[in-house]
Amino acid sequence: MNPVPMVRQLRTADGPAVRELHDDLSERDTYLRFFTLRPARLPQFVDRLVSDVARRAAIGAFVDDRLVGVASYEVASNSVSADIAVVVAHRAQTQGIGTILLRDLVSLAQAAGLRRFTAEVLVENTAMLRVLRDCGRPSTVTRAGSVNHVVVELDAAWAADA
């Protein structure tokens, strides 16, 4: 039986754990998350992710005090949508961590008045598409080459199902 993760908002002090999580990703997992094998400016990305800014939220899943997953959103210029990203340590994948993180992220987003999530997901990233389906049905999935643009409406019925 898999331990239930403790999920909480990330803080500046979590920066080293977030960096370690990303550094430990396999090449494939890095590619699926960043669409490249070597994300540029990873330290700056981590600093931005854990900073306390009103237009952004990041939560982490911890098992035995070790960070095993991160989900985040950044509010779009229209103020009702947010771009999301989820990453889970390889050893913790297929244990429901991504689904738990996304459901908690939905609650935060709805409390902030957001109405939809958007995500760019590589066509081959069937695991992330499955996580989105587990939390509710994507409202639209539009394929452009090797990338799916996914829009998920965060209505009250969706939250109740989550």
Domain boundaries, the chain: 6-161
Between the alpha carbon of residue 22 and those of residues 33, 149, 157, the distances in Å are 10, 23, 34
The CATH class for the domain spanning 6-161 reads alpha beta
Between the alpha carbon of residue 59 and those of residues 72, 122, 124, 143, the distances in Å are 6, 22, 25, 28
pLDDT digits (tens, 9 = 90+) for 111-155: 999 999 999 999 999 999 988 877 776 678 999 999 999 999 887
Residue closest to 96 by CA, chosen among 126, 69, 115: 69
Query: Residue 79 corresponds to which tokens in the numbers above?
Result: 């103020």
pLDDT digits (tens, 9 = 90+) for 62-101: 999 999 999 999 999 888 999 999 999 999 999 999 999 9
pLDDT greater than 50 at residue 34: yes
- Residue 97: count other Cβ atoms within 10 Å of its Cβ: 24
For 11-96, where are the alpha helices, taking DSSP H only?
15-23, 27-34, 42-50
DSSP symbol at 3: P
Cα dihedral 80/19/12/112 (nearest 10):
10
Length of the chain: 162
d(CA 57, CA 148): 23
Residue closest to 56 by CA, chosen among 71, 34, 68, 40: 71
- Per-residue pLDDT at 79: 87
Mean local confidence (pLDDT), 55-67: 95
Residue 132 and residue 152 in contact, taking contact as beta carbons nearer than 8 Å: yes
d(CA 60, CA 126): 22
